[in-house]
Amino acid sequence: MSRPLRIQYPYAYYHVICRGNERRDIFRDDDDRETFLYLLARSLRIYEVQLLSYALMPNHFHLLVCTPKGNLSEFMRHFNISYTGAFNRKYERSGHLYQGRYKAFLVDKDNYLLEVSRYIHLNPLGAQSRKSLREARRELSNTDVTSLPGYLSPAKQKPFVHYDTILDYFDGDSSASRRAYWKFVSEGLKRDIPDPLEQRTAAGIIGTEEFVESVKRELEGRKTLSARELSGLRDLEQPMKPDYLIDRFSRLVMVDKEGLIRKGKQSMERSMLMEFLYRLCGMTQPEIGKLLGGIDYSAVSQARKRLHLKMEQDPRLSSRFAELGAELSAQMSSLKI
């Protein structure tokens, strides 16, 4: 999959993720996190960016931000350089702190902002957390690793976090709204809910089809486009339809089409098909599950994870996947001509 499209416009919302180089820690102690938040607040102020949520994990961080000035790249460049410099000076090191550039996913405010905020706030607990609601609230509300404490208690609010944007979905900053937000967040602990990152399109947009179309119109309305924006626009157009991809893929692997999409059928070819539907058609995992026999999105997620793991362990499988991907991409390119 290509890198997420770096499209910027005033009042856009982004889920930003940045990981340590070679997955190494970027926070070694509480002082590091305090320095990070101090520098983050300074960059937010300089570039007039609004921070809605954050989570600081040992080797990566999440931010949910709004850019009234349409200046995400400038903001992130300044902030990442600032923290890298502070970290390197403290630990007498040099070189890159982060693993490549940050990832930024454009978020559909009307339909996905709350889900992304919940995902960020629950990140420290991990996907397989079995803590009780009481244990989870106690753990999450007594630490600065996320912005959640300020959503639960006015006394813990930080001046550089814009709580109102999220709390306005629950009728503003009030005790009732804070209880309602925790109830919403805790739903992520009580039941299996879709991961908003798995809802993103090939161009890195977390949103509905209508939102994607609005972004496409935003790009098409520009007089000049960068090479990355042109590539992203092609991703948004999604010329290869799922039915066409399934037909071409079944011919390439010489497996019956009906067998590939039948519920209950498990094979490496079916897992690869799921991955190609995700990459080349921009489908979400729930959409893929519905297409392939009506299975749950979590089954799609698990199948894709197993495929990635097996490709890491088996170079021949990885090569075969790459060859199939190249052939399908060629088919997609021919459709664009």
Q: Do 293 and 155 share a domain, yes or no?
A: no
Residue 7: inside a domain, yes or no?
no
Q: What is the pLDDT of residue 299?
A: 85
Q: What is the pLDDT of residues 253-269, one digit of tens each?
A: 998 888 888 877 678 99
Q: Do 246 and 154 share a domain, yes or no?
A: no
Q: Do 188 and 255 share a domain, yes or no?
A: no
CATH code, domain carrying 51: 3.30.70.1290
Residue 290: inside a domain, yes or no?
yes
Q: Do 112 and 247 share a domain, yes or no?
A: no
Residue 222: inside a domain, yes or no?
no
Q: Do 26 and 124 share a domain, yes or no?
A: yes
Q: Do 266 and 193 share a domain, yes or no?
A: no
Give the domain-ending residue among 177, 197, 217.
197
Distance (Å, rounded) from C-alpha 138 to C-alpha 124?
A: 13
Question: How many domains in the chain?
Answer: 2
Q: What is the pLDDT of residue 2?
A: 41
List C-alpha distances in Å: 5 to 53, 60, 216, 265, 273. Answer: 22, 21, 11, 35, 24
CATH code, domain carrying 260: 1.10.1750.10
List C-alpha distances in Å: 66 to 55, 137, 163, 177. Answer: 16, 26, 12, 21
**What SS3 class is residue 94?**
coil
Q: What is the pLDDT of residue 205?
A: 85
**What SS3 class is residue 104?**
strand
Residues whose CB falls within 8 Å of the CB of residue 4, separated by 6 or more in sequence, listed in order: 103, 104, 105, 106, 200, 203, 204, 205
Q: What is the pLDDT of residues 138-148, one digit of tens each?
A: 878 778 899 99
Residue 228: inside a domain, yes or no?
no
Q: What is the pLDDT of residue 30?
A: 93
pTM: 0.68
Q: Do 156 and 287 share a domain, yes or no?
A: no
Give the domain-ending residue among 133, 165, 197.
197
Residues (pLDDT < 50) of the chain are 1-3, 336-337
Buried b (16+ CB within 10 A) or exposed e, 64-81: bbbbeeebbebbbebbbe
Is residue 104 a contact partner of residue 4, using CB atoms and an 8 Å limit? yes
Q: Do 154 and 294 share a domain, yes or no?
A: no
To the nearest 10 degrees (0 to 180), the angle between helices 242-253 and 268-280 is 140
Provide DSSP, 44-60: HHHHTPEEEEEEEETTE
Residue 217: inside a domain, yes or no?
no
Range of the domain at 297: 240-336
Q: Do 193 and 264 share a domain, yes or no?
A: no
Q: Do 23 and 114 share a domain, yes or no?
A: yes
Residue 234: inside a domain, yes or no?
no
Give the domain-ending residue among 197, 231, 251.
197
Residue 216: inside a domain, yes or no?
no
Q: What is the pLDDT of residue 226?
A: 55
Residue of 44, 46, 45 lying closest to 16 (CA atoms): 44
Residue 271: inside a domain, yes or no?
yes
Q: Do 182 and 268 share a domain, yes or no?
A: no
Q: Do 185 and 268 share a domain, yes or no?
A: no
